[in-house]
Amino acid sequence: MGGQDDYEIGRELGRGNFGRTHLARHLPTGALVAVKTIERGERCDRNAERECLNQRALSGLSPFVVSFREIFLTPTHLCIAMEFCSGGEVFARVARSGRLPEREARRLWRQLVAGVGACHEQGVCHRDLKLENALLDDSADPPTLKIADFGYSKSLAAAESDPRSRVGTPAYIAPEILHCSGRPGDEGYDGRAADVWSLGVFLFVLVAGCYPFEDPGRPRDVVEVVRRILAARYAFPPGLRVSPGCADLVARILVADPRRRLSLAAVRAHPWFLGVGTAAGDGDGAGGGGAADPLPPEIAEEPRAAVARHLARPPVQGMQTEEEIRALLAEARRGPGRGVGVEGGGGGGGGGRVVVARASSAGAGGGGGGK
């Protein structure tokens, strides 16, 4: 089992609401990894614990979910060591080009759907799917999408209640979550269906380069965003050519009533996802083309079969147990300890033509405790 002495911490890769993520070298193996740091003390709460446990439970189950390595403590931080995704956020990829050609959008979105399928199959809903939390591994060509940031994730296992609290990122949040009071006794919502909603928003942003529920004239008007989400009222930008198949899929996902929304299985059976029946114009003149675009085998495999295949492999040697992780979390919660702290690295950089503004994560109020 490793510890902080095993890592040399480098530049900052990115930061969100809960912590900073640094590039690091795992000294015993020389491998580059990403290390997410969360301040010790009250930030190492039950949500941080869930993040660690859920990421551990999912590790190695899908090529489209960031692999977990281990957690360790520095005197100041809880650190989650994981697979490094060298291609950065999908957000930056879209911001660079404004939007993606439909075929490229489909390639990445299929991987996202496959990754979410594995999470749901393992009983975990992500609850904060967005372009900033989808990373690219560009060690492969073309790059592979990997789902990251399980900070809002929730286990659907019997031991945990239905999701009840209002978490997520406003631009991606499902209507039923906004309806949810967050109080005990509230019926809660189906975390899987809420993830599917976010998948719909994600697809929209990929092909349109803007958010579906924002008033272009007043993008910061959150009240208007919420009003539009509740009514599932969105429109593609005028003049944007989206194929009928893609528009149909988005329309069947962005349905306010979660019982009438496509399930993940139905998404996987939709003609645009399958890349069949696209002669009616699968394309936006930017690379969509009218040609069929068959599912690659790793996407065609049903999530249940894919997860079962991965579970059948021998477990990773030396993987921390749940108990070990819980014990480290408990220690982190007590506040700063001894040892050497994580140094801040250089800035994350960025640049490029940002068309969509980053969606700020926030608990949408209510709820209070108990994500």
Ligand X SMILES: Nc1ncnc2c1ncn2[C@@H]1O[C@H](COP(=O)(O)OP(=O)(O)O)[C@@H](O)[C@H]1O
Catalytic residue ranges: 128
Choose the binding region for ligand X from 129-137, 175-183, 215-223, 240-248 (rule: CB under 6 A). 129-137
- Selection from ligand X, Mg ion, none that 84 binds (CB < 5 to 8 A by kind) is ligand X
Choose the binding region for ligand X from 84-92, 164-172, 240-248, 317-325 (rule: CB under 6 A). 84-92
**What are the structure tokens assigned to 330, written together?**
């408990």
Residues 16-45 that bind ligand X (CB under 6 A): 16-19, 21, 34, 36
- Candidates 202, 199, 276; CA nearest to 243 is 276
Between residues 80 and 274, which has the closer beta carbon with respect to ligand X? Answer: 80
With CB under 5 A as the contact rule, the residue among 102, 149, 195, 214 that binds Mg ion is 149
Q: Which amino acid is at 112?
A: L
Between residues 21 and 198, which has the closer beta carbon with respect to ligand X? Answer: 21
As a whole number of angstroms, the distance between CA 127 and CA 129 comes to 6
Taking CB under 6 A as the rule, does residue 135 contact ligand X? yes
Evaluate whether 366 touches 226 at the Cβ level (below 8 Å): no
**Vertex 70: Cα angle to 67 and 71 (nearest 5):** 125
Choose the binding region for Mg ion from 50-58, 68-76, 126-134, 262-270 (rule: CB under 5 A). 126-134
Going by the DSSP 8-state scheme, the letter that residue 172 receives in this structure is G
Choose the binding region for ligand X from 148-156, 173-181, 183-191, 195-203 (rule: CB under 6 A). 148-156
Taking CB under 6 A as the rule, does residue 156 contact ligand X? no
Residue 136's H or E segment, with its range, is strand 134-137
Taking CB under 6 A as the rule, does residue 13 contact ligand X? yes
Taking CB under 6 A as the rule, does residue 58 contact ligand X? no
Taking CB under 5 A as the rule, does residue 16 contact Mg ion? yes
Between residues 79 and 196, which has the closer beta carbon with respect to ligand X? Answer: 79
**Cα distances (Å, whole numbers) of residue 29 to 24, 32, 184, 314:** 12, 9, 47, 21
Q: State whether residue 158 is helix, strand or coil.
A: coil
Between residues 40 and 228, which has the closer beta carbon with respect to ligand X? Answer: 40
Taking CB under 6 A as the rule, does residue 151 contact ligand X? yes
Rg, the chain, Cα only:
20
As a whole number of angstroms, the distance between CA 367 and CA 371 comes to 7
As a whole number of angstroms, the distance between CA 124 and CA 79 comes to 21
User: Which residues lie near ligand X (CB under 6 A)?
Assistant: 13-19, 21, 34, 36, 66, 82-85, 89, 132-133, 135, 148-149, 151, 361
